[in-house]
């Protein structure tokens, strides 16, 4: 059925400061698709969701005031003195606080991204699939919305989208982890056992690696975890700093029948390094000669990840997979820059050395997992669907005082499937797991919408706070040749005009375009006459509030000769996840608008190029909210479901 257009507006009333041109008239959708959910069970579940998704009361107790005050006086980011990466935003100390309202804070909470009911969260830990349930553990402060007292939170899901909170999995209660149960990884053994290795900060703030395991493997929820009495199982080797040795990986089985893990560290304060330890029983470890890999100038490597990918395949691989037709991905979270980098290369299983395919794109100096606000990512192999799944932590970019008022901080990205990009041979492809599509409601299609150079086109879809957007663009050149001196990056944002761009969508925007977040392509001329394309996100006008970080993010994205420019954008209140060219380049943004919220949030197309018109085709779904709530232990139906798993 034909979707109706919105009421016409006088273009003179809508000056577009992004482009310094009036907006074009509204574009009408070609067709609307309605998804009918008639199930009584669904309606009942929706009521439960609404009740359980109500936010925690905003903090107003004296302890919050004290913590906020200590924030403003802090000399360095929280976490640095304790030996971990920064967990606060000191760059905002000199900013005047914005007068946020409760309604604004309420809107910022996401609807279908995982986050705890309240308080602080950071790195994903030990993700795994067991007896029909996906398990996510995460760094968590049960006492406050700021980093500290780090325990392991725990949640389970049947589909990676709808989650149940479970009791804490591990708390810092032993000398070897009393200052924090930090990041770790799970390994599923062939006999069905599960071993969990994690970093503990000892009573003397030494970083050691510890072993834990489920108390009852027959329990599908894995509610109780036991710490190995002989912990720690690995201590910092000679020459390694006591507070720069953390985050053990999932283990893989070598051809000699022994297991290996990698732990991140650094040498001489600047050389990022991945050490390799060998074990046969997960309680005794031997440091192997040399290193898996090291890159000068990259600093401390946190949250190292190491896993295989199939060169010609559409499924993921178990971490132990070796042999022909397989490349290995080495990823590190750089403490110095707070960026996750990866490289694709070859693993020698005899020497336990990894070599990048392209040394100029080595770990820490080349490709990023995500070019936006994103850190501490971790993958696991989902044996139920033969895929590799990626999680990533997305922190807040406002102040700690604001987080204390909200009562929560940080989210996890939508889980992403990861594959080798055999078309380029140089990139990974990241894509939201297919299960997120179950949240799609009514769809609206716009076909062949012409966006002229220097114009903005409203897309009449109503409220645009929770969306899944698929967009494809073709460019029509208006000039025979470009002689512009074009800088090869995302520039200073979407306001910078070049011959071929930028063009894309404006998300979380208000009608007057006083707040907006452009997600866009920026094709640029290079010396041989071809185009080099960047995929970007511009947060600089995402909020009128001065006390939030607002940056231009992005990176180069290959666009092959047989491809149009395409993007997928997931919008969920204060987070925007953008996937360029099938996921070759990915950007996560945090936005905190003051006006483009609730019913005022809108979606636009824009083209700020000077020499091309753009033709756009889009399919846009409104997204339902996910069910994320405490596990209903008291409900007989769920008890029976767990027992039958």
Q: How many CB atoms lie within 10 A of CB 286?
A: 12
Whole-number pLDDT of residue 234: 98
Helix (H, G, I), strand (E, B) or coil at 12: helix
Whole-number pLDDT of residue 66: 34
Give residue-wise pLDDT tens across range 127-137.
999 999 999 99
Give residue-wise pLDDT tens across range 32-79.
433 333 333 333 343 333 334 433 333 333 333 333 333 343 457 888
Whole-number pLDDT of residue 481: 58
Asked whether the predicted pLDDT for residue 375 surpasses 90, the reply is yes
Q: How many CB atoms lie within 10 A of CB 564?
A: 12
Distances (CA, A) of 261 to 21, 284, 303, 480, 556: 57, 12, 12, 56, 32
Give residue-wise pLDDT tens across range 499-546.
999 999 999 999 999 999 999 999 998 766 788 999 999 999 999 999
Give residue-wise pLDDT tens across range 147-175.
999 999 999 999 999 999 999 999 999 99
Asked whether the predicted pLDDT for residue 304 surpasses 60, the reply is yes
- How far is 556 from 488, CA to CA, in rounded Å? 9
Whole-number pLDDT of residue 78: 85
In angstroms, how far is CA 279 from the centroid of its own chain? 32
Give residue-wise pLDDT tens across range 422-432.
999 999 999 99
Asked whether the predicted pLDDT for residue 342 surpasses 80, the reply is yes
pLDDT above 90 coverage of the chain, percent: 79
pLDDT category at 92 given cuts 50, 70, 90 is low
Asked whether the predicted pLDDT for residue 578 surpasses 50, the reply is yes
Mean pLDDT check: name the lowest of 22-26, 39-43, 261-265: 39-43
C-beta of residue 109 within 8 angstroms of C-beta of residue 157: no
Asked whether the predicted pLDDT for residue 580 surpasses 90, the reply is yes
pLDDT category at 615 given cuts 50, 70, 90 is very high
Give residue-wise pLDDT tens across range 459-478.
999 889 999 999 999 998 77
Same fold, 126-432 and 440-623: no
Q: Where are the domains of the chain?
A: 126-432, 440-623
pLDDT category at 93 given cuts 50, 70, 90 is low
3-state DSSP helix/strand/coil percent for the chain, to nearest 5? Answer: 10, 40, 50
Fold of 440-623: Jelly Rolls (2.60.120)
**DSSP string across 209-256:** EEEEEES-TT-TT---EEE-TT--SB-PPTTS-TTSEE-PPPPEE-TT
- How far is 389 from 316, CA to CA, in rounded Å? 8
Superfamily grouping for domain 126-432:
Glycosyl hydrolase domain; family 43 (2.115.10.20)
Backbone angles phi, psi at 484, to 5 degrees: -65, 145
Asked whether the predicted pLDDT for residue 605 surpasses 60, the reply is yes
Give residue-wise pLDDT tens across range 382-409.
999 999 999 999 999 999 999 999 999 9
Whole-number pLDDT of residue 641: 64
- Angle (CA) 577-303-198 rounded to 5° is 125
Whole-number pLDDT of residue 244: 97
Q: Which residue in 10, 94, 123, 460 is the catalytic one?
A: 123
β-strands 602-607, 531-538 pairing:
unpaired
Helix (H, G, I), strand (E, B) or coil at 561: coil
Give residue-wise pLDDT tens across range 191-249.
999 999 999 999 999 999 999 999 999 999 999 999 999 999 999 999 999 999 999 99
Asked whether the predicted pLDDT for residue 270 surpasses 70, the reply is yes
Distances (CA, A) of 347 to 25, 81, 137, 430, 618: 56, 35, 29, 22, 41
pLDDT above 70 coverage of the chain, percent: 84
Whole-number pLDDT of residue 459: 98
123 is catalytic: yes
Q: Please, what is the end-to-end C-alpha distance for the chain in angstroms? A: 42
Nearby residues of 370 by Cβ (< 8 Å), 6 or more positions away: 340, 377, 392, 413, 430, 586, 587, 588
Torsion-angle region of residue 529: left (phi > 0), alpha (psi -120 to 50) or beta? Answer: left
The enclosing H or E element of 63 equals helix 62-73
Whole-number pLDDT of residue 243: 96
In angstroms, how far is CA 101 from the centroid of its own chain? 27
pLDDT category at 483 given cuts 50, 70, 90 is low
pLDDT category at 85 given cuts 50, 70, 90 is confident
| Average pLDDT score over residue span 375-386 | 98
Give residue-wise pLDDT tens across range 168-206.
999 999 999 999 999 999 999 999 999 999 999 999 999
| Average pLDDT score over residue span 17-36 | 48
- How far is 197 from 205, CA to CA, in rounded Å? 18
Write down the mean pLDDT value for the chain.
88
In angstroms, how far is CA 465 from the centroid of its own chain? 18
- Please, is 636 exposed, middle or buried when counting C-beta atoms within 10 Å of its C-beta (0-12, 13-18, 19+)? exposed
């Amino acid at each position: 059925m034909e979707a109706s257009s919105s009421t016409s507006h006088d273009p003179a009333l809508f000056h577009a400061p992004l482009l310094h041109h009036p907006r074009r008239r509204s574009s009408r959708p070609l067709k609307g698709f309605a998804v009918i959910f008639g199930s009584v069970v669904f309606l009942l579940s929706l009521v439960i969701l609404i009740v359980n998704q109500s936010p925690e009361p905003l903090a107003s107790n004296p302890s919050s005031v004290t913590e906020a005050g200590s924030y403003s006086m802090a000399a360095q980011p929280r976490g640095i003195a304790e030996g971990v990466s920064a967990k606060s935003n000191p760059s905002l100390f000199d900013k005047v606080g914005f007068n946020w309202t409760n309604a604004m804070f309420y809107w910022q909470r996401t609807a279908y991204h995982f986050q705890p009911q309240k308080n602080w969260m950071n790195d994903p830990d030990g993700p795994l699939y067991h007896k029909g349930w996906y398990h996510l553990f995460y760094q968590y402060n049960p006492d406050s919305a700021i980093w500290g007292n780090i325990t392991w939170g725990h949640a389970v899901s049947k589909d990676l989208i709808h989650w149940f909170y479970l009791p804490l999995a591990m708390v810092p209660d032993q000398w070897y982890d009393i200052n924090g149960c930090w990041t770790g990884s799970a390994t599923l053994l062939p006999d069905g056992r599960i071993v969990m290795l994690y970093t503990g900060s000892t009573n003397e703030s030494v970083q050691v690696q510890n072993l834990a395991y489920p108390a009852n493997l027959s329990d599908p929820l894995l509610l109780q975890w036991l710490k190995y009495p002989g912990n720690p199982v690995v201590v910092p080797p000679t020459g390694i700093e006591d507070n720069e040795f953390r985050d053990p990986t999932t283990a893989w089985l070598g051809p000699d029948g022994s297991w290996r893990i990698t732990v991140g560290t650094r040498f001489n304060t600047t050389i990022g390094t991945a050490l390799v330890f060998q074990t046969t029983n997960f309680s005794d470890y031997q440091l192997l000669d040399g290193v898996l890999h090291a890159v000068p100038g990259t600093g401390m490597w946190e949250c190292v990840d190491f896993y295989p990918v199939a060169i010609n395949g559409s499924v993921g691989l178990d971490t132990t997979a070796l042999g022909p037709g397989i490349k290995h991905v080495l990823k590190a979270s750089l403490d110095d820059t707070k960026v996750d980098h990866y490289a694709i290369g070859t693993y020698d299983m005899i020497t336990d050395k990894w070599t990048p395919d392209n040394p100029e794109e080595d770990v820490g100096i080349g490709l990023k997992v995500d070019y936006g606000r994103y850190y501490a990512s971790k993958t696991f192999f989902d044996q139920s669907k033969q895929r590799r799944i990626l999680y990533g932590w997305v922190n807040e970019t406002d102040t700690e005082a604001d987080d204390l008022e909200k009562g929560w901080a940080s989210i996890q990205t939508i889980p992403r499937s990861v594959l080798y990009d055999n078309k380029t041979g140089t990139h990974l492809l990241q894509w939201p797991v297919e299960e997120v599509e179950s949240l799609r409601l009514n769809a609206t299609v716009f076909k062949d919408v012409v966006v002229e150079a220097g114009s903005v086109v409203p897309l009449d879809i109503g409220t645009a706070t929770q969306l899944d957007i698929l967009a494809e663009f073709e460019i029509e050149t208006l000039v025979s040749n470009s002689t512009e001196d074009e800088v090869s990056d995302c520039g200073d944002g979407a306001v910078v005009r070049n011959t071929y761009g930028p063009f894309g969508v404006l998300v979380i925007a208000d009608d007057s375009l006083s707040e907006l977040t452009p997600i866009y392509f920026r094709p640029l001329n290079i010396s041989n006459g071809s185009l080099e394309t960047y995929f970007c996100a511009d947060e600089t006008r995402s909020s009128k509030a001065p006390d939030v970080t607002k940056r231009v993010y992005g990176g180069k994205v290959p666009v092959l000769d047989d491809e149009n420019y395409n993007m997928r954008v997931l919008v969920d209140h204060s987070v925007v996840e953008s996937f360029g060219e099938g996921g070759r380049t990915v950007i996560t943004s945090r936005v905190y608008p003051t006006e483009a919220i609730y019913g005022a949030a809108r979606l636009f197309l824009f083209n700020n190029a000077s020499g091309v018109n753009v033709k756009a085709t889009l399919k846009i779904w409104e997204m339902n909210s996910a069910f994320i709530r405490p596990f209903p232990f008291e409900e007989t139906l769920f008890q029976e479901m767990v027992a039958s798993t």
